[in-house]
Amino acid sequence: MRIIIIGAQGQVGWELTRRAPALGHDMLAWDVAELDITDAAAVDRQLAASGVEVVINAAAYTAVDKAEQEPELAFAVNRDGPAHLAAACARLNIPLLHISTDYVYDGRKPGPYVENDTVTPLGVYGASKLAGDEAVRRLLRRYLILRVSWVFGIHGHNFVKTILRLAREREELRVVADQYGCPTFAGDIADTLLELAGRGAEIDACDGWGVYHYCGEPATTWHGFASAIVELARARESLPVKTVTAITTADYPTPAARPANSVLDCARLAARLGIQPRPWRVGLEALLDVR
């Protein structure tokens, strides 16, 4: 199968480019230097000439706080880019697999979010990603939108790498303990997307196109996640950090509000397409083992 991976230098895109050839796929890996997805004409031209059979969009503007000062750029990448890809895929009659986010929810629900819950993002980043989801759903019939949570990976910047750096520099870490979510290893997201990319005929047959949640398990807090990172890293190296102190969101203000609850229910993906997320500690071990 010929797959185009958009956003090849991101956390998930990097994993996709490493894993797709091992599965026998004919892969084209594009980042912004190869294709600016905000340019509708370029998207249409390059996809039409590529001979592609499925597109995986892992490109996004993900600077949550900076998006508050750069809404036009955030919407250009997160709304207009997916819209251009969806329109081109519709013309070519091929599927689009698109990564979305837990930030489309406001975090006020007391339990895990399901796919048909009300979407009310708190900031520009979440609003721009939601607009991209809506564009894909409007323009294309054969799509999968995978909403993920708290992504961390081997490549790129993420929470795990920040905690590791600070744990090597400080004796105390102060981490928010009143925000809940599901850490998700970028490699697991990539594996899921590649499996789904090869199952188009099956998804056609069961009318399985649509929106799904995918995240690691179990749910935790940023403080719980940080504590696990320190625990597992300490088994591999000597660290000066002595304590991981729990603080509140109010103790750590940010320009963009974060959802207090980002826990996603993944039962629909398991029931309809047979995919069960892995424990996030497995992915965390994998990341730490390559450092």
Angstrom distance (rounded) from CA 175 to CA 169: 15
Angstrom distance (rounded) from CA 251 to CA 200: 47
For residue 125, indicate whether it is catalytic.
Answer: yes
Q: Which of 113, 125, 180, 214 is catalytic?
A: 125
Q: Could you report the per-residue pLDDT of 7-63, keeping only the tens digit for each?
A: 999 999 999 999 999 988 899 999 999 999 999 999 999 999 999 999 999 999 999
Q: Could you report the per-residue pLDDT of 168-188, keeping only the tens digit for each?
A: 999 999 999 999 999 999 999
Angstrom distance (rounded) from CA 226 to CA 222: 6
Q: Yes or no: say if 216 and 139 are a contact pair by the CB < 8 Å rule.
A: no
What is the structure's pLDDT at 291?
62
Q: Yes or no: say if 3 and 54 are a contact pair by the CB < 8 Å rule.
A: yes
The residues near 289 (Cβ < 8 Å, ≥ 6 apart) are 236
Domains of the chain from N-terminus onward: 2-156+183-216 (3.40.50.720)
Angstrom distance (rounded) from CA 50 to CA 57: 15
pTM (2 d.p.): 0.95
Q: Could you report the per-residue pLDDT of 233-287, keeping only the tens digit for each?
A: 999 999 999 999 999 999 999 999 999 999 999 999 999 999 999 999 999 999 9
Element (H, E) at 160: helix 159-167
Phi, psi of 180 (to 5 degrees): -115, 140
